[in-house]
Amino acid sequence: MSEASAHQDVYSSAHFSLQLDGTIIGTLRSIDGGSVKTEVATYQAGDYSDVWKQLAKPKYEDIKFVTALAGARPLWQWMKDFIDGKGTRRSGALLAADYNYIEKARRTFKEALIAAIDFPKFDANDKGPANITVTISPEKIVYEKGSGKPLDDRDPSNAAQQHIAACNFEFLFDGVGSQTTARVTKVDAFSVKAKIIEYHHGTRLEAAKTTGKLEWPNLVFYLPEPDAEPFRAIHMKSVVGERATRTSATLSFFNNAKEVRGTFKFTGCHIFNVSPEKSDVASEDVRMVKVECQVEKVDLDIQ
């Protein structure tokens, strides 16, 4: 071991944080990615058999992090801008700290765009925390030495919003009444994605990036078979050729005090499948029906 490395303290990967435009987001569960790679260019001249190699343009890996569903407001606003198609850019850093939460290293990223948001499933039988996974694509990443200062991730405005259980939700579907959807037991996880378009120009080593077309998810939910008849009737109308009526659905999540913390609004919902679950003589579970809808747009809001 060299003399320089012998005096460097090692530290756990469990102490970390994400910084956005100078604000530390203190509700992260994990961070992955953010490496810097370089392409290798080869060159062979004339009839020589030798091949020369050199490093070409750098490539910056996407960063993926998991955080609480109702997390920090700067992050939530960035996600809302992404859903609204604004393609807002953010700069920040991935901070690594030791056991005493002293910053030891950082990876600074610039001009990052959100590439995808994976929202959690909501399940009446799941009391675990509901987390989201956000994937961002930066234009540049630089490795830097830590500041040596303690991480201050305390954010009083978000303390009450960090823990949202997956079972705390309410689902409404326009045109069928709230009593019909009162016994919806599960809403599958869904994702909103966008293709990140890269553009190389001039002598710039890093590619300029912009957000492409958004990809909207399907809405999938489950309810007892006696409550599924209105959805089956809507679906059968489209099967026989009637023009489907554009409708919407609302998914709200709340804390243990029954205070609504956020809402998803699905517009342009068209039911394309209503299927009962498998029948089994050995099963004693309530017979459920799966309803699948295509969605034209998703809006989100946080309280």
Mean pLDDT, to the nearest integer, of 89-112? 87
Mean pLDDT, to the nearest integer, of 136-159? 74
Query: What does the pLDDT read at residue 158?
Result: 46
- Of residues 206 and 263, the one with the higher pLDDT is 263
Query: What does the pLDDT read at residue 215?
Result: 93
255-288 per-position pLDDT tens digit: 888 888 889 999 999 999 999 887 666 666 778 8
pTM: 0.86
Residue 83, phi then psi, degrees to nearest 5: -60, -35
Q: Looking at this protein, which amino acid is placed at residue 174?
A: D
Residue 116 has pLDDT above 80, yes or no: yes
Query: How distant is the alpha carbon of residue 159 from its chain centre?
Result: 20
Query: What does the pLDDT read at residue 259?
Result: 86
Task: Please state the domain extents for the chain.
Answer: 9-39+55-302
Q: Among all chains, which residue has been given the structure tokens 């705390």?
A: 168
15-72 per-position pLDDT tens digit: 788 888 888 776 678 888 888 888 888 888 777 778 888 888 888 899 999 988 877 7
> Are the beta carbons of 181 and 263 closer than 8 angstroms?
no
Query: What does the pLDDT read at residue 114?
Result: 94
- Of residues 43 and 289, the one with the higher pLDDT is 289
- Give percent of the chain with pLDDT exceeding 90: 34
- Of residues 54 and 214, the one with the higher pLDDT is 214
Query: What does the pLDDT read at residue 216?
Result: 94
Query: What does the pLDDT read at residue 145?
Result: 85
How many angstroms separate the CA atoms of 222 and 245, rounded?
A: 21
Q: Looking at this protein, which amino acid is placed at residue 53?
A: K
How many angstroms separate the CA atoms of 81 and 112, rounded?
A: 13
